[in-house]
């Protein structure tokens, strides 16, 4: 900006226009123009402090306001539309001009249209330095460029993805390679990272990836963590604050370390061959140690010295045991009050039949939840598919009673009725390939005593044994029915009218005369 105050001040000191131009670094024409305008408007030195160069410029040489009469574009609308595929500034300018003409307004030229959009964008690029406290936060992310592992037998190349964890204050880093970026690798990486750092920070800032955030249930304002990730955070007593989508400045240290690690580790190892994941991680650990002890360029010390001196003493201690990786699944309770997990079956209280339940699966345990309330816990089954883990309390009452029955109990019950009944029950129990197949027949046989009496059942068993050494439940039942009918007829000697026997149609039927 032209130094209007200095020009007027130097003129009051009787400097020539040539010297004033040299002192204020302007042309002589500009000096002459300013002094002429000052004389015309009676502006002289000394000037009030409020009369700045900007005020003097607006006062003596007001700008042409005609440009501001033109309609300005809607910047918020333009930002939103430019995010859509195929939408360009040229297209938006054409639409803007058409809208101006429809409203009898004068539009900006295309160059001015683009200029104002650029100015608005620059205002929105303002950044803020946020001072970080030691031991307050960690940032985690997957590195963009993978490393490679070669199969020694087939020569097949497999990609290995690098997990990066960074202490925000000291920028002390942890790196580990994994075969994939799935939940198991993500959680395992966090467990190893906490052990490497030797403590936990109150906050953890991950990328907005699918292993961290459930995108189906989340929106821009309220990210919903995956159940396993949230459970891990509770175990380590830390708060997870996911970075926003396409907002790398939410985790600048992790983003910066990813770039540095790509140079220090991935690029440095590009000419080496690795035949296993353990070989790759061993080489990564060597490069990582060198990365952490390397001195800063713009401040004293290294990442390691800053971490050990100022950050590690402030970390919260690790839990007594490491987090056990758990996988969450959904299952439906079947009519046999069991759920299926990896072709094994685990019981649930029968009241929840046909309900969907959440299942927490670890290497050793199966836990079943309904509406966040735990219904059951089982030791995880391994072996041949189709095995059952059943808790008796989960069964209906009549099913529990059925479980109480075994061959010896049926034999004791039969012996209390009589020796013949006991012999028949023994014959039934040994009649099938599996003893349990005959439990229903034994139950039905012994229940006949309640309908007919112990004496009649014992007599029926004795009679049946005289015919065969292995009588059945049905044969005993039929004998009891016959014995009861016989007994009833003996107790009621009233004779019933006898029906005539033989041919009784008469002589007329056969052509004879009527008598």
| Contact between 375 and 369 (Cβ < 8 Å) | yes
pLDDT in tens, 443-490: 889 989 988 999 999 999 999 999 888 898 999 999 999 888 887 776
Whether the pLDDT of residue 218 is over 70: the answer is no
- DSSP, collapsed to helix, strand or coil, labels residue 123 as helix
Whether the pLDDT of residue 500 is over 70: the answer is no
Torsion, CA 280, CA 285, CA 288, CA 289, rounded to 10: -150
Residues 95 and 184: their CA atoms lie apart, in Å, by 51
Q: What are phi and psi of 295, to 5 degrees?
A: -70, 145
Arithmetic mean of pLDDT, 121-138: 72
Question: Over pLDDT 90: what percentage of the chain?
Answer: 28
Going by C-alpha positions, the residue among 316, 315, 323, 258 that lies closest to residue 291 is 258
Which DSSP state fits 509?
G
CB atoms closer than 10 angstroms to residue 301 = 14
Using 50, 70 and 90 to split pLDDT, how confident is the model at 254?
very low
Whether the pLDDT of residue 417 is over 50: the answer is yes
- Show Cβ contacts of residue 382 under 8 Å, excluding neighbours closer than 6 positions: none
**Element of type H or E holding 158:** strand 157-167
**Strands, E assignment, 189-257:** 203-205, 239-240
Report residue 367 as tokens. 């836990």
> Which residues partner with 341 through β-bridges?
344
Per DSSP bridges, beta strands 173-178 and 157-167 are antiparallel
Whether cis (ω within 30° of 0) applies to the bond prior to 395 is: no
DSSP states of 85-109 as a string?
A: TT--HHHHHHHHHHHHHHTT-PPPP
Whether the pLDDT of residue 16 is over 50: the answer is yes
Per DSSP bridges, beta strands 147-150 and 338-341 are unpaired
Per DSSP bridges, beta strands 157-167 and 147-150 are antiparallel
Domains and CATH numbers, the chain: 4-63 (no CATH), 67-124 (no CATH), 137-314 (3.30.420.10), 327-397 (no CATH), 405-485 (no CATH)
Residues 349 and 351: their CA atoms lie apart, in Å, by 5
Q: Which residue has the tokens 């959009």?
A: 117
pLDDT in tens, 347-381: 999 999 999 999 999 888 999 999 989 999 999 99
Using 50, 70 and 90 to split pLDDT, how confident is the model at 515?
very low
DSSP states of 454-502 as a string?
A: HHHHHHHHHHHHHH-SS--HHHHHHHHHHHHHHHHHHH--PPPPPPP-S
Whether the pLDDT of residue 246 is over 80: the answer is no
Whether the pLDDT of residue 509 is over 90: the answer is no
Arithmetic mean of pLDDT, 330-357: 93
Residues 159 and 261: their CA atoms lie apart, in Å, by 17
> Which residues partner with 139 through β-bridges?
166, 205
Whether the pLDDT of residue 201 is over 60: the answer is yes
Q: Rounded to whole angstroms, what are the CA distances from 55 to 31, 47, 62, 343, 418?
A: 17, 12, 10, 83, 123
CB atoms closer than 10 angstroms to residue 117 = 18
How far is C-alpha 470 from the chain's CA centre? 62
Report residue 131 as tokens. 């001072």
pLDDT in tens, 43-95: 888 888 888 888 888 888 887 544 457 888 888 888 888 888 788 899 999 99
pLDDT in tens, 140-181: 888 877 888 998 888 889 999 889 898 988 889 999 999 988
pLDDT in tens, 22-39: 888 889 899 999 899 888
pTM score, whole prediction: 0.51
Lowest-confidence pick of 43-57, 390-404, 420-434? 390-404
Whether the pLDDT of residue 247 is over 70: the answer is no
Whether the pLDDT of residue 512 is over 70: the answer is no
Residues 46 and 56: their CA atoms lie apart, in Å, by 13
**403 vs 475, more confident:** 475
pLDDT in tens, 95-108: 999 999 888 888 99
Residue 151: per-residue pLDDT: 87
**15 vs 249, more confident:** 15
Report residue 193 as tokens. 């990272």
DSSP states of 348-398 as a string?
A: --GGGTT-EEEEEE-SSEEEEEETTEEEEEEEPP-SSTT-EE--GGGS-HH
- Cα angle 138-143-146, degrees, rounded to a multiple of 5: 150
Going by C-alpha positions, the residue among 466, 453, 485, 451 that lies closest to residue 420 is 466
- Show Cβ contacts of residue 473 under 8 Å, excluding neighbours closer than 6 positions: 428, 441, 442, 444, 445
| Contact between 17 and 47 (Cβ < 8 Å) | no
Per DSSP bridges, beta strands 365-370 and 147-150 are unpaired
> Which residues partner with 205 through β-bridges?
139
């Amino acid at each position: 900006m032209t130094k209007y105050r200095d020009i007027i001040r130097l003129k009051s000191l009787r400097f020539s226009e040539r010297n004033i131009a040299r002192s204020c670094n302007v042309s002589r024409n500009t000096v002459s123009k300013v002094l002429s305008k000052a004389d015309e408007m009676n502006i002289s030195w000394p000037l009030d402090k409020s009369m700045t160069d900007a005020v003097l410029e607006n006062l003596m040489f007001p700008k042409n306001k005609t440009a501001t009469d033109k309609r300005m574009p809607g910047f918020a609308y333009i930002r939103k539309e430019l995010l859509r595929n195929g939408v360009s500034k040229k297209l938006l300018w054409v639409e803007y001009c058409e809208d101006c003409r429809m409203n009898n307004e004068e539009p900006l030229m295309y160059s001015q249209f683009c200029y104002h959009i650029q100015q608005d964008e620059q205002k929105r690029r303002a950044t803020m330095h946020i001072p970080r406290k030691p031991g307050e936060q960690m940032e985690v992310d997957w590195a963009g460029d993978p490393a490679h592992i070669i199969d020694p037998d087939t020569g097949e190349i497999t990609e290995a993805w690098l997990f990066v964890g960074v202490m925000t204050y000291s920028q002390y880093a942890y790196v580990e390679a994994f075969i994939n970026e799935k939940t198991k690798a993500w959680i395992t990486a966090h467990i190893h990272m906490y052990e490497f750092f030797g403590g936990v920070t109150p906050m953890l800032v991950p990328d907005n990836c699918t292993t961290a955030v459930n995108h189906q249930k989340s929106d821009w304002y309220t990210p919903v963590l995956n159940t396993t990730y949230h459970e891990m955070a509770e175990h380590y007593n830390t708060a997870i604050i996911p970075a926003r989508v396409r907002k790398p400045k939410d985790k600048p240290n992790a983003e910066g370390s990813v770039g540095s690690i790509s140079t220090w580790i991935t690029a440095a190892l590009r000419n080496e061959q690795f035949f296993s994941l353990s070989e790759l991680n061993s080489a990564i650990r060597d490069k990582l140690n060198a990365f952490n002890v390397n001195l800063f360029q713009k401040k004293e010390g290294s990442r390691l010295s800053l971490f050990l001196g100022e950050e590690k003493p402030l970390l919260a201690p690790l839990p007594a045991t490491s987090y056990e990786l758990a996988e969450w699944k959904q299952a439906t309770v079947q009519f046999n009050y069991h759920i299926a997990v990896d072709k094994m079956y685990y019981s649930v209280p029968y009241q929840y039949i046909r309900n969907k339940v959440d299942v927490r699966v670890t290497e050793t345990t199966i836990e079943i939840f309904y509406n966040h309330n735990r219904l059951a816990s089982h030791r995880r089954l391994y072996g041949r598919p189709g095995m059952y883990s059943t808790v008796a309390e989960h069964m209906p009452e009549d099913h529990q009673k059925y479980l109480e029955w075994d061959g010896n109990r049926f034999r004791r019950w039969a012996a209390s009725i009589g020796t013949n009944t006991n012999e028949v029950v023994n014959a039934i129990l040994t009649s099938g390939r599996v003893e349990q197949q005959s439990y229903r027949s034994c139950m039905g046989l012994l229940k006949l005593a309640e309908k007919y009496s112990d004496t009649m059942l014992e007599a029926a068993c004795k009679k049946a044994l005289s015919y065969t050494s292995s009588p059945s439940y049905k044969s005993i039942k039929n004998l009891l029915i016959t014995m009861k009918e016989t007994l009833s007829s003996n107790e009621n000697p009233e004779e019933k009218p006898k029906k005539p026997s033989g041919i009784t149609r008469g002589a007329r039927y056969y052509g004879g005369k009527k008598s």
